[in-house]
């Protein structure tokens, strides 16, 4: 008997030590759980998020929501100090195919993570559509997931949709008011990863970040966002890779903002966009595939596919330094007509603008690099070019401009430009291929130093996938790219380097690159 008691005591001590080392697993089941349970097993699951919010979670703990369950309210985490070895995990359990759903009408968010470290959130569905206000902030602002003053947070495989604040507030969107709702938002945080999420039907942004650093946005899909699929402000060291941003600026719900580029960054440094798709942006202004708003440095857009964005393809605004678009494919971007449908800007294939904010002096952009892109615009459209007189340094080279219709030069839709005596400097167009010799419009103020005329021979002009724009005219394009070097007076260039080892599809570049985004077959 004594030996048996001793074994039980030792086993108890072992289990206690294991729980301390690895944390506890708390289960929630909205159908058969009870808040009177301890939550430590599926059979003793809690029923509500309210119960979970009463617990002080520790490193290594798991909060597990049963698949097929629906939980009303929000899950609020604050000051959880977990670790890399023992993160706090929020996840699903069970065999039902349906993700557990958090429905948070009237709350600021379905999940809030504040002043936490090492938190992993995955495999959940989150909605928050209007509702009677419970959290005061929720009246005018709403999120699926809200992360604040936290570090090492990952969000993976979430289905976030129908996010709208209870009331609409004044905005510069199409209808003048917006029910602000964002899928995933992070503020004042570092080392945040958002991956494999589907975000759709939100009042404003799909993913939104402010004043944060070391950010990864990977393999997400946003669809029908009122504004942009992704917007970042004052964020540093960001990777945006393998995402699909579709129908930004949507108006399928009257509460939506109805204006937005697929993505845009403001006041950001060291941002790399690669292998993303930007499709079907709408809006009375901006609304490109991806545009670089003002006060950024070292933003590079490469290997991206941009199609049917009414605002345009390249948009680099004021006081931006050393930004680049390279090895991208643009199809039918920039078809918007000023004055039509409330639009107050023309759509543009290429726009270098000095705009730095309302009532701010125009400045730059400085040292912009636009090379080895493939640009196709169908017949019947009239996209525009615009280079601000405040532009200082731009190299546009090795691009294919396969624009079948007429083009126009516009000053930039900013009246103040008409009053300035400034003149753009160090602007070089060189070694680009044009389907006809009037693509660079009269009045642009610059001509190509070495233009190449000819048809690149796309295998399926007008198609909807990148491979349709594989060229076949080797005589015109093969090994014909000029070497990209620093613009006159630029001491920085592109911080990650000019030379590319692979083309749009990942094919190796051997010897001199071909013109455009795709290497021709040997």
Query: Which tokens in the block code for residue 66?
Result: 């049963």
- Beta-carbon contacts of residue 382 (< 8 Å; ≥ 6 apart): 337, 405, 406, 407, 408
The single-letter DSSP state of residue 59 is T
How many CB atoms are closer than 10 A to CB 412?
26
Q: Please give the distance of CA 50 from its chain centroid, rounded to a whole number.
A: 33
Residue spans of beta strands (DSSP E) within 374-461: 374-377, 384-387, 392-397, 400-403, 408-409, 425-430, 433-434, 452-453
pTM: 0.94
Distance CA 28, CA 30 (A): 7
Distance CA 399, CA 434 (A): 9
- Beta-carbon contacts of residue 105 (< 8 Å; ≥ 6 apart): 127, 128, 129, 130, 131, 132
Query: Coil, strand, or helix at residue 206?
Result: coil
Q: What is the pLDDT along the chain (522 residues), one digit of tens a residue?
A: 445 444 434 444 333 333 444 799 999 999 999 999 999 999 999 999 999 999 999 999 999 999 999 999 999 999 999 999 999 999 999 999 999 999 999 999 999 999 999 999 999 999 999 999 999 999 999 999 999 999 999 999 999 999 999 999 999 888 889 999 999 999 999 999 999 999 999 999 999 999 999 999 999 999 999 999 999 999 999 999 999 999 999 999 999 999 999 999 999 999 999 999 999 999 999 999 999 999 999 999 999 999 999 999 999 999 999 999 999 999 999 999 998 888 989 999 999 999 999 889 999 999 999 999 999 999 999 889 999 999 999 999 999 999 999 999 997 665 656 566 678 999 999 999 999 999 999 889 899 999 999 999 999 999 999 999 999 999 999 999 999 999 999 999 999 999 999 999 999 999 999 999 999 987
The single-letter DSSP state of residue 487 is P
Distance CA 279, CA 300 (A): 19
Query: Coil, strand, or helix at residue 371?
Result: strand
Domains with residue ranges and CATH for the chain: 27-326+349-364+379-395+406-426 (2.160.20.10)
Query: Coil, strand, or helix at residue 144?
Result: strand
């Amino acid at each position: 008997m004594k030996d048996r008691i001793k074994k039980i005591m030792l086993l108890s001590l072992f289990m206690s030590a294991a729980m301390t080392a690895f944390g506890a697993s708390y289960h929630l089941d909205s159908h058969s759980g009870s808040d009177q349970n301890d939550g430590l097993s599926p059979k003793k699951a809690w029923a509500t998020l309210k119960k979970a919010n009463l617990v002080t979670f520790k490193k290594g703990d798991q909060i597990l929501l049963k698949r097929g369950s629906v939980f009303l309210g929000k899950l609020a985490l604050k000051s959880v100090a977990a670790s890399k070895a023992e993160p706090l995990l929020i996840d699903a359990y069970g065999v039902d195919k349906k993700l557990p759903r958090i429905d948070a009408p009237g709350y600021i968010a379905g999940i809030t993570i504040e002043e936490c470290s090492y938190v992993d959130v995955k495999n959940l569905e989150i909605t928050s559509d209007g509702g009677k206000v419970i959290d005061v902030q929720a009246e005018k602002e709403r999120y699926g997931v809200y992360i604040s003053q936290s570090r090492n947070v990952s969000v993976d495989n979430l289905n976030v949709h129908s996010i709208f604040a209870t009331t609409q507030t004044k905005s510069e969107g199409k209808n003048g008011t917006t029910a602000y709702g964002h899928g995933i938002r992070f503020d004042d945080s570092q080392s945040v990863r958002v991956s494999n999420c589907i975000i759709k039907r939100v009042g404003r942004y799909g993913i939104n970040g402010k004043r944060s650093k070391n950010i990864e946005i990977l393999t997400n899909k946003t669809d029908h966002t009122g504004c942009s699929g992704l917007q970042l402000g004052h964020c540093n060291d960001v990777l945006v890779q393998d995402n699909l941003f579709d129908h930004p600026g949507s108006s399928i719900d009257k509460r939506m903002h109805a204006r937005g580029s697929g993505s845009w960054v403001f006041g950001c440094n060291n941002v790399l966009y690669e292998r993303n798709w930007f499709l079907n942006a709408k809006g009375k202004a901006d609304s490109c595939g991806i545009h670089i708003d003002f006060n950024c440095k070292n933003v590079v857009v490469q290997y991206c596919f941009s199609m049917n964005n009414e605002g345009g393809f390249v948009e680099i605004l004021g006081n931006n330094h050393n930004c680049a678009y390279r090895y991208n494919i643009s199809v039918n971007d920039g078809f918007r007509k000023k004055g039509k449908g409330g639009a107050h800007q023309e759509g543009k294939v290429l726009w270098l603008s000095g705009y730095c904010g309302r009532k701010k002096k125009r400045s730059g952009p400085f040292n912009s690099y636009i090379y080895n892109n493939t640009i196709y615009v169908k017949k019947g459209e009239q996209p525009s070019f615009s280079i601000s007189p405040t532009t200082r340094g731009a190299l546009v080279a090795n691009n294919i401009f396969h624009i079948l219709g007429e083009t126009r030069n516009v000053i930039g839709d900013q009246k103040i430009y008409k009053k300035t005596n400034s003149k753009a400097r160090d602007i070089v167009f060189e070694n680009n291929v044009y389907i006809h010799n009037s693509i660079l419009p009269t009045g642009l103020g610059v001509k190509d130093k070495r233009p190449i005329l000819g048809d690149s021979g796309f295998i399926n002009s007008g198609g909807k996938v990148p491979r349709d724009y594989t060229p076949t005219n080797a005589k015109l394009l093969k090994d014909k790219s000029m070497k990209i070097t620093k613009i006159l007076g630029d001491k920085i260039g592109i911080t990650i380097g000019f030379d590319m080892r692979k083309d749009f599809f990942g094919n190796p570049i051997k010897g001199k690159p071909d013109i455009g985004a795709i290497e021709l077959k040997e």
